[in-house]
Amino acid sequence: MRPGGRVRSLGGQVVSILVTLFGLLVLTFVIGRMMPADPVRAIVGEDATQDTYRMVYERLGLDRPIWEQFFRYLGDVVTGNFGVAIRTGQPVISDILHVMPATIELATFAIVIGAGLGIPLGVIAAVNRDKWADNVIRVFSLLGHSMPIFWTGMIGLIIFYASLGWVGGSGRMSSFYIGLVRGPTGFLLIDSLIAGDWNVFWSALNHLILPASLLGYSSSAYITRMTRSFMLDQLNQEYVTTARVKGLSRHDTIWKHAFVNIRVQLVTIVALSYGGLLEGAVLIETVFAWPGFGQYLTNNLLIGDMNAVMTCVLIVGVIFIGLNVLSDVLYRVFDPRTR
């Protein structure tokens, strides 16, 4: 592509991202105004006088025209002002930065398990279509996709924690170690390694294994099914038959030809699955009392803190936009034809 074409392509992508972000802001604002919760009552409480209610109502700008409220919200977002959380009294963005590392840690381990399990199983199922291996893998993925994550979480705690004692229970670490490590990153495993505290590291890892494995199993079910579908499509192509006729081994045909052609599709599947884990781990975080983003969103939604809820919704949208942009970049890495 010529330099001018590259500039135009990059400019088009930037405009597309900005338009998407603006649409996300509009959607977030509309959701915040349509929610049945009363943000004023959540702040002042049920016993506040009418004068107090009216004062806070005007201070929040809710007496202004809707278009003026939107541009005020837009200005606050652009300047990084997301309001103050009712529960903590701290800026919402500070609260989110505090809880997000826990969710990122959990989701990252889960997607490594999900992709590491789902992609090979999907390939094996496609190669052995309608054979016993395919049937077993399909049942395995169907169970992972069908079982509610909160149910598997409770069963996992009963079996592997309460009965067998193989893993840690709820929380990010044993209560004995809370507060011993306060590192710069917020990622407990990394901070404990930096501090050289191996007791905290093993405790954190022990508590992470079960929720991450359950989330990874749930994610692997979807990745397995999609990988199987993509591989079946490629294995039915003529170039695969030609490669086998020319004497290419079965292993090379599958992994060096067919699998290479589904890498771009798998990038999207894994990226979207990771985004889903970042914003959708609400139930598993609740079951395991995991102090992450999902639990923060749920707690603030229950008390009607619209500043926190709208900011969480906005961040979820930004995460998915960022993952889609990353997918586009990886497309160009894996498939030179898209450059």
List domains and CATH numbers for the chain. Answer: 92-338 (1.10.3720.10)
Give residue-wise pLDDT tens across range 11-27: 667 777 788 888 888 88
Give the Cβ contact number of residue 98 at 10 Å.
15
Give Cα separations from 119 to 147, 239, 267, 330, 333 (angstroms): 20, 22, 11, 17, 19
Full-model pTM: 0.82
Would you call 237 helix, strand, or coil by DSSP?
coil
- Tell me if 185 sits within 8 A of 85, measured CB to CB: no
Give residue-wise pLDDT tens across range 242-263: 877 777 788 888 888 888 888 8
Whole-angstrom Cα Rg for the chain: 24
Nearest to 153 by CA among 278, 282, 296: 282
pLDDT band at 4; cut points 50, 70, 90? low
Residue 116 has pLDDT above 90, yes or no: yes
Give the Cβ contact number of residue 133 at 10 Å.
14
DSSP 13: H
Residue 2 has pLDDT above 60, yes or no: no
pLDDT score of 27: 82
Determine the average pLDDT of the residues in 90-113. 90
C-alpha span between 329 and 339 (Å, rounded) = 9
- Specify burial of residue 17 (Cβ count, 10 A radius: 0-12, 13-18, 19+): middle
DSSP 182: -
pLDDT score of 118: 92
Continuous H helices in 35-91: 39-44, 50-59, 66-78
